[in-house]
Structure 1
Amino acid sequence: MILLLTNSKIIYPYSEALFSIAKDQEKFEVIKNDMELFVTFTKNLNGFKKFLETPLINKNKKIKVVKDVFSKILNSTTLNFISILINKNRIMFVSNISEKYNQLVLKDKSVKLVKIACARQLSEKQAQALSEVLKHKFKCLSVKLIFNIEPELIAGFKIFIESQVIDVSLQGELKEFEWYLTK
């Protein structure tokens, strides 16, 4: 629990700062894409991630390597932000900061990020209908649906929005039924 609190105390201020800079420079999408690219790169190259997170390696050397590799790919604002994360020994939180930044951008645009786990792929018509219901229920201009297929749900889906989980899956119903039987 303490680690989680510490992480949120670190992640939120940095993501807020990045959001504020992006808003001032009107570069929401550029910075979002840059951060996603950098996070993907660090996740896929485990050696690079270890290099960045190792405290024994000089911070200036890390920053130089990052600038050498990414200077032609990333926006200078993003590159400077990543350099700050390295300098402040916060680079290990870059993925979480990026995710929180994306949430702040969506919130600013009155868009809700909705993760949906479903037993099978929804049709375009079903996804659109679900989107409309969620927009109405959560009083927002738009929702961004992210689907994840989970066959173990058997049928139906689970909706994850903000801190809420709405489970309308057969698996959830069976678990609830099991709970009543064992009560």
Structure 2
Amino acid sequence: MMQTTIRGELVEPYAEALLSLAQSHNLADQFQQDSGLILDLLAASAELQEFLANPLINPDAKKNVLRQLTVDKVHGYFLNFLMLLVDRRRINLLAAICQQYRTLLRKLRNIVLAEVISAVELTEQQRHAVVEKVKTMTGAADVELAIAIDPEILGGVVIKVGSQIFDASLRGQLRRLSVGLAQPV
């Protein structure tokens, strides 16, 4: 737990600095795209994560790899931020910083992240219905959806917004029914 607290104390100031830089240059949307690209790169390659986190690897080698991966794909200021993280030996926190940046930007814009689990791919109409339901539940100006497919829920959806969970899945309904039937009358 101590490790998590220290990590959080390191991540927050960097994410706030990145957001401040983005706001001062009207690049918040660009940095959101850039951070999304970085998160996708890291998620796709465990080798890249290990390479960047390894303290024995020369910082110049890390910078060169980052430049090669992001050339003409991220804004120059964002690339400079990446180089700063390498110089300060904080590049191992890159994914957490990018995620925190996106969280801070959503909070600033009154946008909530809704994690949606469904048994099948949602249609555009169903996505819209989920967005409207979440707006009603939270009072948010807008909703960002993170959708995952899990056939084990059998049907319906499970929506998680922060600590709130709205379970409209068939599996959840069956579980509630079995608990209700097990109660003595």
**TM-score, scaled relative to structure 2:** 0.84
2:20 pairs with 1:17: no
Distance in 1, Cα, partners of 2:169 & 2:82: 41
Answer yes or no: is the 8 Å Cα contact 2:159–2:166 preserved in 1.
yes
Moved more, 159-168 or 57-66: 57-66
Query: How far did residue 179 of structure 1 move?
Result: 5.2
Q: Which residue of structure 2 aligns with residue 96 of structure 1?
A: 96
SS of the equivalent of 2:121 reads coil
Q: Which residue of structure 2 aligns with residue 58 of structure 1?
A: 58
What are the superposed Cα offsets for residues 14-57 of structure 1, whole Å, 9 maximum, x if unpaired? 21111111111111121122222223223334433322211112
Query: How far did residue 116 of structure 1 move?
Result: 0.6
Distance in 1, Cα, partners of 2:143 & 2:36: 20
Moved more, 46-55 or 98-107: 46-55
Q: Which residue of structure 2 aligns with residue 34 of structure 1?
A: 34
Answer yes or no: is the 8 Å Cα contact 2:119–2:152 preserved in 1.
yes
Q: Which residue of structure 1 aligns with residue 157 of structure 2?
A: 157
Q: Which residue of structure 2 aligns with residue 113 of structure 1?
A: 113
Distance in 2, Cα, partners of 1:26 & 1:52: 29
Q: Which residue of structure 1 aligns with residue 169 of structure 2?
A: 169
What are the superposed Cα offsets for residues 54-82 of structure 1, whole Å, 9 maximum, x if unpaired? 11122234224433553433211111111
2:77 pairs with 1:44: no
Q: 1:39 to 1:142 in 2, by over 3 A?
A: closer
Distance in 1, Cα, partners of 2:168 & 2:3: 32
CA-based RMSD: 2.4
Distance in 1, Cα, partners of 2:162 & 2:133: 16
Residue-pair matches, total: 183
1:70 partner letter: T
Q: Which residue of structure 1 aligns with residue 133 of structure 2?
A: 133
Query: How far did residue 117 of structure 1 move?
Result: 0.5
SS of the equivalent of 1:66 reads helix
Answer yes or no: is the 8 Å Cα contact 2:42–2:95 preserved in 1.
no
Query: How far did residue 177 of structure 1 move?
Result: 4.7
Structure 1 gaps of 5+ residues are none
Distance in 1, Cα, partners of 2:64 & 2:87: 11
Identity of aligned residues (%): 27
Distance in 1, Cα, partners of 2:76 & 2:111: 27
Distance in 2, Cα, partners of 1:106 & 1:133: 18
Query: How far did residue 160 of structure 1 move?
Result: 1.1
Query: How far did residue 176 of structure 1 move?
Result: 4.1
